[in-house]
């Protein structure tokens, strides 16, 4: 018994000295029990941020954390990325589907659990963040509460590229950022923009160009097509968020734009896609004010609207690993595998413009 206790104490001391790498000593029923840091991911039902949870879970496991993901039950589980969650489970990620807007359901699902890190990719307003934020602050005493916000909150009139101190609109997500700050939590907000990548849940940003170029159609571009965008690979988005692990003090209380370092214009996207499929891009500019176009007629803003991730590079030591040009080869293969090259597409808005 004495030998066991001595061994446990020795292990405790090694953990304090960093001998266990990512391991940390957590307060549990046994003061000498060693645990990995543990992350909770709250994942929404889909849309532009739909695949973030998958990649967060994968990267956090790679960093040695235990991972639990609570998935909004209204997600279409037969669609990507959700249909591939078995891959995460095989890595040891615990996944549960439930109504994330129900405080009682959340409280029950989290009963008896404890986390060092929270990655909230669900909350859209103060009401939907309060339950987990309270647990994180009062019970878990988390090292970091990371919130997936949105770069869409910036005012359209701000200087480009947009920095974190630019003027924002009063949105639900901005309200969540302010609420977490007021709670004195070690919160960090990330504002992603225009995400693409493996397991993508929203293909519109890049597919719009493939739909037209693979079918030898003209791409109608607002203005002259020189407007810039930060089209960001989801693995880069996730890596910026997970870079908080180990740098919690530096990240606390900070807001970071979450986008690529490689900006592209709408014309450049046309050229990249055309080169990938072995065709020549055909484009035509137009004045959006001359038409009453339906929502989604073009996947981006009519004006420049892109963020710089310079702050994350300086504070977190993060850098991106992907560029749109380098990724278009595999993206084209995924486009064809998804049957998008033979899918019937409604080009009514294009025809209106091109006439």
**What is the Cα–Cα distance from 238 to 58, expressed in whole angstroms?**
9
**What is the Cα–Cα distance from 235 to 241, expressed in whole angstroms?**
10
- β-pairing, 232-233 with 195-196? parallel
**What is the Cα–Cα distance from 132 to 38, expressed in whole angstroms?**
15
Whether 142 contacts 115, CB under 8 Å: yes
Query: Which ranges of the chain would DSSP assign to H, the alpha helix?
Result: 2-16, 52-62, 85-90, 103-109, 130-135, 172-182, 204-213, 234-242, 248-251, 266-277, 310-316, 324-337, 348-354
**What is the Cα–Cα distance from 161 to 205, expressed in whole angstroms?**
19
Whether 156 contacts 301, CB under 8 Å: yes
Taking residue 112's Cβ as centre, other Cβ atoms within 10 Å add up to 4
In angstroms, the first-to-last Cα distance of the chain is: 86
Taking residue 226's Cβ as centre, other Cβ atoms within 10 Å add up to 12
Q: Can you give the pLDDT at residue 9?
A: 38
**What is the Cα–Cα distance from 168 to 189, expressed in whole angstroms?**
14
**What is the Cα–Cα distance from 152 to 149, expressed in whole angstroms?**
9
The strand pairing partners of 189, in sequence order, are 147, 255
Angle between helices 234-242 and 52-62 (to 10 degrees): 50
Q: Can you give the pLDDT at residue 238?
A: 98
- Which helix (H) or strand (E) segment holds residue 233: the answer is strand 232-233
- Domains of the chain by range and CATH? 10-354 (3.40.50.720)
List average pLDDT for each run of 10 residues in the chain, which is 355 residues long. 40 38 38 68 96 98 98 97 98 98 98 98 98 98 98 95 97 98 97 96 95 98 97 98 98 97 96 97 97 95 96 97 96 96 97 95
Q: Can you give the pLDDT at residue 1?
A: 40
**What is the Cα–Cα distance from 39 to 22, expressed in whole angstroms?**
12
Q: What angle do CA 84, 76, 145 make, to 5 degrees?
A: 75
Whether 59 contacts 49, CB under 8 Å: no
| Nearest residue to 281 (alpha-carbon basis) of 177, 186, 198, 210 | 210
Whether 49 contacts 121, CB under 8 Å: yes
Q: Can you give the pLDDT at residue 36?
A: 77
| Nearest residue to 307 (alpha-carbon basis) of 194, 170, 187, 188 | 194
Report CA torsion sign: 342, 348, 352, 355. Answer: positive
């Amino acid at each position: 018994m004495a030998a066991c206790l001595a061994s446990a104490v020795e292990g405790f001391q090694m953990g304090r000295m960093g001998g266990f790498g990512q391991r940390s000593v957590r307060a549990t029923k046994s003061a000498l029990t060693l645990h990995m840091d543990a992350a909770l991911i709250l994942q929404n039902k889909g849309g532009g941020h739909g695949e973030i949870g998958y990649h967060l879970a994968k990267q956090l496991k790679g960093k040695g954390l235990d991972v639990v993901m609570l998935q909004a039950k209204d997600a279409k589980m037969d669609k990507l990325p959700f249909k591939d969650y078995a891959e995460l489970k095989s890595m040891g990620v615990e996944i549960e589907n439930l109504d994330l807007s129900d405080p009682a359901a959340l409280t029950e699902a989290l009963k008896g659990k404890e986390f060092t890190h929270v990655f909230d990719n669900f909350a859209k307003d103060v009401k939907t963040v309060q339950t987990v934020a309270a647990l994180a602050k009062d019970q878990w005493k988390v090292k970091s509460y990371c919130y997936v916000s949105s770069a869409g909150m910036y005012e359209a009139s701000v200087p480009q590229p947009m920095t974190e101190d630019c003027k924002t609109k009063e949105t639900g997500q901005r309200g969540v950022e302010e609420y977490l700050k007021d709670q004195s939590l070690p919160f960090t907000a990330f504002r992603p923009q225009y995400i693409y990548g493996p397991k993508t849940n929203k293909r519109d940003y890049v597919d719009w160009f493939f739909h037209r170029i693979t079918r030898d159609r003209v791409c109608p571009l607002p203005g002259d097509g020189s407007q810039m965008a930060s089209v960001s690979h989801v693995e880069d988005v996730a890596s910026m968020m997970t870079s908080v692990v180990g740098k919690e003090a530096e990240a606390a209380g900070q807001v970071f734009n979450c986008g690529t370092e490689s900006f592209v214009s709408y014309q450049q996207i046309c050229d990249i896609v055309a080169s990938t499929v072995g065709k020549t891009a055909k484009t035509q500019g137009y004045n959006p004010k001359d038409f009453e176009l339906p929502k989604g007629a073009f996947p981006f803003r009519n004006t420049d609207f892109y963020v710089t991730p310079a702050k994350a590079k300086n504070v977190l030591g993060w850098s991106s690993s992907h560029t749109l040009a380098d990724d278009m080869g595999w993206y084209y293969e995924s486009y064809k595998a998804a049957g998008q090259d033979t899918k019937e597409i409604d080009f009514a808005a294009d025809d209106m413009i091109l006439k």
